[in-house]
């Protein structure tokens, strides 16, 4: 498990320890072996994560899936793409269901959704612009992410996130994830005396002073084949969340 996923899991577990029984650790999903196709200009790695569900014993018991479609490009300073990744991943097996269940019953209020990329000694979080959460964590956070909600004529919704960063030193990315920043209070009480607007504007200290806690939980994510970047190159990430 990467350092970033450990940190997210620890943050989530500490928050839950004050409000409910301790949760098991985050089980990290692993990507299937990568198939690499190299051309003259762009290295393309197609990675897939097994989302095959067990065939239900009875029709109608297929369940609900959350998918993340990731597109990652490494670009040189001139904008030329030198490596391209395209892969799928699914709901975090430990915290994904927790987030959805507590949002539905009102014991969680969502603040922001984030994109996280990390390696053994490196982690970069991309927050949606305007998030108060990005102001307190220095160079490891960037308030440059965007989110776009699309609902078609049939009511089918997708949430598209984008973000990018340019490290000042060479880095290797081994894990990518989305995470949801949430507000909650002790005892898993619902409904919360805090609005999404309040939660979006909150910091850890202001939340504590107001009687609730602010914590980030992994939502979707996976390990990837090591992705190396030279200093000055840019990592551009796009992830589209969909539901079926």
CA dist 27 and 94 (Å) reads 6
Q: What is the mean pLDDT of residues 89-115?
A: 89
Identify the DSSP state of 55.
P
The pTM (predicted TM-score) of the whole model is: 0.71
> pLDDT tens across 52-83, in order?
344 445 555 566 788 899 999 999 999 999 99
Output the pLDDT for position 43. 58
| pLDDT tens figures, 174-228 | 999 999 988 887 767 777 778 888 887 777 777 777 778 888 899 999 999 999 9
Residue 70, both tokens: 């990731």
Query: Quick check: 19 pLDDT over 70?
Result: no
Say if CB 99 and CB 180 are below 8 A apart.
yes
């Amino acid at each position: 498990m990467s350092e970033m996923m450990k940190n997210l899991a620890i943050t989530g577990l500490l928050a839950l320890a004050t409000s409910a029984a301790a949760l098991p650790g985050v089980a990290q999903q692993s990507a299937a072996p990568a198939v690499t196709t190299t051309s003259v200009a762009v290295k393309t790695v197609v990675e897939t994560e097994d989302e095959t569900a067990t065939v239900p014993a009875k029709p109608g018991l297929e369940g609900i899936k959350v998918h993340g479609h990731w597109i990652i490009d490494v670009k040189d300073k001139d904008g030329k793409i030198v490596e391209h990744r395209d892969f799928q991943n699914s709901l975090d097996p430990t915290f994904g269901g927790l987030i959805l269940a507590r949002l539905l019953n009102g014991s969680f209020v969502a603040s922001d959704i984030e994109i996280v990329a990390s390696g053994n000694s490196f982690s970069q979080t991309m927050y949606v612009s305007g998030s108060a959460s990005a102001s307190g964590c220095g160079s490891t956070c960037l308030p440059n992410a965007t989110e776009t909600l699309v609902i078609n004529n049939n009511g089918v919704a997708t949430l598209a996130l984008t973000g990018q960063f340019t490290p000042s030193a060479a880095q290797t990315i081994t894990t990518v994830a989305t995470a949801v920043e949430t507000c909650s209070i002790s005892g898993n009480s619902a409904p919360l005396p805090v609005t999404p607007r309040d939660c979006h504007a909150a910091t850890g200290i202001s939340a504590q002073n107001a009687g609730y806690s602010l914590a980030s939980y992994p939502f979707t994510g996976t390990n990837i084949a090591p992705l190396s970047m030279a200093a000055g190159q840019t990592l551009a990430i796009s992830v589209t969340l969909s539901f079926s």
